[in-house]
Amino acid sequence: MAENHAGQEVLLLQELRKSYNVGKPTEVEVLHGLNLRLQRHDFAALVGASGSGKSTLLNVIGLLDKPTAGEIFLLGEPTRNMDDARRTKLRGSAIGFVFQFHHLIQAFSVLENVLMPLMVASGKPAREQLERARDLLSQVGLEGFDQRKPDQLSGGQQQRVAVARALVTRPSLILADEPTGNLDSKSASEVFQLLRKFNREFGCAVLLVTHDSRLSEQCDRTITLVDGAIANDTRHG
Amino acid sequence: MWIEWTIATKFLREGKAQSTLIFVGISVGVAVIVFLIALITGLQSNIIDRTLGTQAHIKIQPPQERNLILAPDKASTHLVLESKRAQRLRSINNWQEVRDALDTTPQIKAVSPVIAGPAFVRRGEAAQSITLNGIDAMRYSRIIPIQNVIVAGVYRTGAGNALIGTQLANDLGLRLGDKLRIDGGQNRESIVSVAGIFEFGVRELDSRHVYVDMRQAQSLLNLPGAATTIDVTVDDIFAAQTVAAGIARRTGLKAESWMETNAQLMNALRSQSLSTQMISTFVALSVALGIASVLSVSVVQRTREIGILRAMGARQQQMLRVFLIQGALLGLAGSLLGGIAGYGLVGMFNMFGATLFYIPLNPWLLVAATGLATITGIFSAALPARRAAALDPVEAIRHG
């Protein structure tokens, strides 16, 4: 691994620890000194039983939560001591989220939802950004759905909008928390294929939390979390 | 700010029922405040106008005469039984100079020397006690505009002419051009003719006041060349007290403002203003609490969306602004409608209500109400906005 260029490295975790209720009698450590490296083009599944710390890990990597100890390098930048404004900015530009529930904002149209990460970062979208959002929508098969409201779409369609939204900032890392957990198998497969496609085309690393072994088998790499520690990290094919 | 505006307006539009309810609530509150303030301001200025329509803003008189008591020796104690001196009718010393000095004093609009004292008017067997006022017609008209309340004849006092009130004319059966005898006491009498009859609508004035030329009054009251009072009007009626104090200090004369003369009225007006302010404050407070509670509920309802926006890269400051803007918009829109409704109420009052007085519509009241309501909206939104900004995105997404 050492021969990899820094430019290729998207994420590096060093001795990452996360505890809850720090300093209280109920203190509990959820992540116990994780080390992990994700490269560009990586497509990794994060698997593990409920309570193994998958979601916590994803939140910490996504800079939504702070680690108790250890360091997270995102695009080579150490993030532990960043203030909230810088973390938010980095999160907005470098990371795309796809949640289990689509988490679109009902008050906005499909197109506006896709544009949201750009709009919160830099205000009114430029023509080029609008084009990009429309292009992404057509790539996820939702051409002509621009002005619909999220609740006028099916579950699978909504999740595809969420994928388009995650990609609109051209992030280096996509964090997907059981993005297909709530979908029927056909929609699930569609969403998975989209992630796969964008991973290949844009080179963004994907870390996908899933319970579905059929999906994890299709990933290039499977990271297994057991009780807050990486028990297994295998590359396939 | 564009994205904050967009999110704020979309949130408001999406929670239509909620936004409408608080919008109407704010409107009603602002309408009440606007109407109340317009009504009370109108009423008060009307009362003041009526009161000051018949009296000077400041009356300057000679200082009271006092007994001069010798200071006791250091070693002895004096017990003094003093009976106060009777105040005879006296002239203001050097009143011409005082008048000229006041003429050039800023804040003072008009100055008019007057000689006033007790007298009788007789016609045939009938006699009436009156206050005889010797005036300089030109100057006096700028203090009390008698010329506006003349119901018969003309406003003229010179050369044996007198102005009398309708009540006195009635009591003595006097008509325009009729002669009457004024008796200043000590056998000083003169006969004048009625040049004009006025009606202030105040019984006391209409039955007891007679206006003649200064010289005539001076000879009748046996004070040649004298003026017993200098009447003054000022630019700002509520500054009368300070102006009066200034005059008293400079001249050593007694200067009494209309506020002192009408202490009861002032007290009543002040209580009225206070109660108006209290009602307005409490209505404004309940409007503010309404905005705050609606936005608090909105923050709870939108917890998940706030979390998503934060995950998408929205900064805490942005979330704060989203809710502050909502507060401001609610305040602004509600107060615009409320202001218009309040003005409508004032208009209806003017058209259909008691026609005793007219409420003037001051456009600045609308501007002030709108501005204040908008600021109130922002302040009311501060607490919910801070809560929204402080939400932990992870928790917000999980539990929202």
Specify whether B270 is located in the same domain as B221. no
pTM here is 0.73
How far is the C-alpha of B113 from the C-alpha of B98, rounded, in Å?
10
CA distances for A160 relative to A52, A192, A193, B111, angstroms: 28, 10, 11, 86
> B9 in contact with A at a CB cutoff of 8 Å?
no
Size of interface A-B (CB pairs under 8 A): 65
Specify whether B378 is located in the same domain as B270. yes
Query: Tokens representing A159?
Result: 């999740």
Given a contact cutoff of 8 angstroms between Cβ atoms, the answer to whether A209 and A61 are in contact is no
Given a contact cutoff of 8 angstroms between Cβ atoms, the answer to whether B309 and B319 are in contact is yes
Do B312 and A88 count as a contact with CB atoms less than 8 A apart? no
- Out of B171, B197, B227, pick the residue that ends a domain: B227
Given a contact cutoff of 8 angstroms between Cβ atoms, the answer to whether B43 and B282 are in contact is no
Q: Please identify every stretch of chain B with a pLDDT value under 50, giving residue numbers as ranges.
A: none
- Out of B227, B254, B288, pick the residue that ends a domain: B227
Specify whether B319 is located in the same domain as B216. no
Do A65 and B394 count as a contact with CB atoms less than 8 A apart? yes
Strand B179-183 and strand A95-98: pairing? unpaired
Residue B323 is assigned to a structural domain of this protein? yes
Do A92 and B14 count as a contact with CB atoms less than 8 A apart? no
β-pair partners for A20: A28
Supply the pLDDT for residue B355.
64
Specify whether B189 is located in the same domain as B307. no
Do B313 and A64 count as a contact with CB atoms less than 8 A apart? no
B349 vs chain A: nearest CA distance in angstroms? 43
Do A91 and B308 count as a contact with CB atoms less than 8 A apart? no
Set of chain A residues whose Cβ sits within 8 Å of the Cβ of B326:
none
Set of chain A residues whose Cβ sits within 8 Å of the Cβ of B7:
107
> A84 in contact with B at a CB cutoff of 8 Å?
yes
Look at residue B184 and give its three-state secondary structure. coil
Domain count, chain B: 2
> A120 in contact with B at a CB cutoff of 8 Å?
yes
Supply the pLDDT for residue B354.
65
Residue B249 is assigned to a structural domain of this protein? no
Q: Which residue range(s) make up the domain with B371?
A: 2-49+266-399
CA distances for A224 relative to A13, A231, B22, B241, angstroms: 15, 6, 52, 88
> A92 in contact with B at a CB cutoff of 8 Å?
yes
Specify whether B102 is located in the same domain as B214. yes
Specify whether B174 is located in the same domain as B117. yes
Supply the pLDDT for residue B356.
66
Look at residue B194 and give its three-state secondary structure. strand
Specify whether B41 is located in the same domain as B129. no
Supply the pLDDT for residue A6.
44
Residue A190 sits at the vertex; the CA angle it makes with A184 and A192, to the nearest 5 degrees, is 100
The type of residue at B341 is A
Q: Residue B252: CB partners within 8 Å, gap ≥ 6?
A: B63
The residue whose two tokens read 């300057």 is B60
Residue B241 is assigned to a structural domain of this protein? no
How far is the C-alpha of A121 from the C-alpha of A129, rounded, in Å?
12
Given a contact cutoff of 8 angstroms between Cβ atoms, the answer to whether B31 and B338 are in contact is yes
Residue A151 is assigned to a structural domain of this protein? yes
Q: What is the DSSP string of chain A?
A: -TTS-GGGEEEEEEEEEEEESTTSTT-EEEEEEEEEEEETT-EEEEE--TTSSHHHHHHHHTTSS--SEEEEEETTEE-TT--HHHHHHHHHHHEEEE-SS----TTS-HHHHHHHHHHHHHSSPPHHHHHHHHHHHHHTT-TT-TTS-GGGS-HHHHHHHHHHHHHTT--SEEEEESTTTTS-HHHHHHHHHHHHHHHHHH--EEEEE-S-HHHHHHSSEEEEEETTEEEEEEE--
Query: Tokens representing B381?
Result: 């939104």
Set of chain B residues whose Cβ sits within 8 Å of the Cβ of A169:
313
Residue B94 sits at the vertex; the CA angle it makes with B89 and B99, to the nearest 5 degrees, is 100
Read off the pLDDT band of A193 (50, 70, 90).
confident
Q: How high does pLDDT run on average in chain A?
A: 85
Specify whether B281 is located in the same domain as B392. yes
- Give me the mean pLDDT over the A125-154 stretch: 89
Query: Tokens representing B188?
Result: 């000083």
Do A108 and B10 count as a contact with CB atoms less than 8 A apart? yes
Residue A15 is assigned to a structural domain of this protein? yes
Q: Which residue of B has its CA nearest to A65?
A: B394
Q: Which residue of B has its CA nearest to A85?
A: B315
Specify whether B271 is located in the same domain as B395. yes
DSSP state of B149: S
A128 vs chain B: nearest CA distance in angstroms? 18
Residue B27 is assigned to a structural domain of this protein? yes
Do B312 and A123 count as a contact with CB atoms less than 8 A apart? no
Tens of pLDDT, residue by residue over B144-167, are 888 888 998 888 888 788 999 999
Strand B254-257 and strand B108-123: pairing? unpaired
Set of chain B residues whose Cβ sits within 8 Å of the Cβ of A117:
312-313
The residue whose two tokens read 């003429």 is B103
Specify whether B278 is located in the same domain as B370. yes
Do B397 and A105 count as a contact with CB atoms less than 8 A apart? no
Specify whether B309 is located in the same domain as B389. yes
Do B312 and A92 count as a contact with CB atoms less than 8 A apart? yes
Tens of pLDDT, residue by residue over A36-73, are 888 888 899 998 888 888 888 888 898 888 888 888 99
CA distances for B21 relative to A124, B27, B236, B330, B336, angstroms: 31, 10, 43, 11, 15
> A119 in contact with B at a CB cutoff of 8 Å?
yes
Given a contact cutoff of 8 angstroms between Cβ atoms, the answer to whether B185 and B235 are in contact is no
- Out of B198, B227, B256, pick the residue that ends a domain: B227
Specify whether B30 is located in the same domain as B132. no
Domain count, chain A: 1
Supply the pLDDT for residue A237.
63
B13 vs chain A: nearest CA distance in angstroms? 8
The answer, yes or no, to whether residue A3 has pLDDT greater than 70, is no
Compare CB distances from A124 to B2, B7, B308 and report the shortest one's residue: B2
Tens of pLDDT, residue by residue over B241-272, are 899 999 999 888 889 998 888 888 888 888 98
A119 vs chain B: nearest CA distance in angstroms? 6
CATH of the domain at A38: 3.40.50.300
> B14 in contact with A at a CB cutoff of 8 Å?
yes
The answer, yes or no, to whether residue A183 has pLDDT greater than 50, is yes
Residue A1 is assigned to a structural domain of this protein? no
> Rounded to the nearest 5°, which phi and psi values hold at A4?
-70, 145
Residue B176 is assigned to a structural domain of this protein? yes
> B397 in contact with A at a CB cutoff of 8 Å?
yes
Longest dimension (CA), chain A: 55
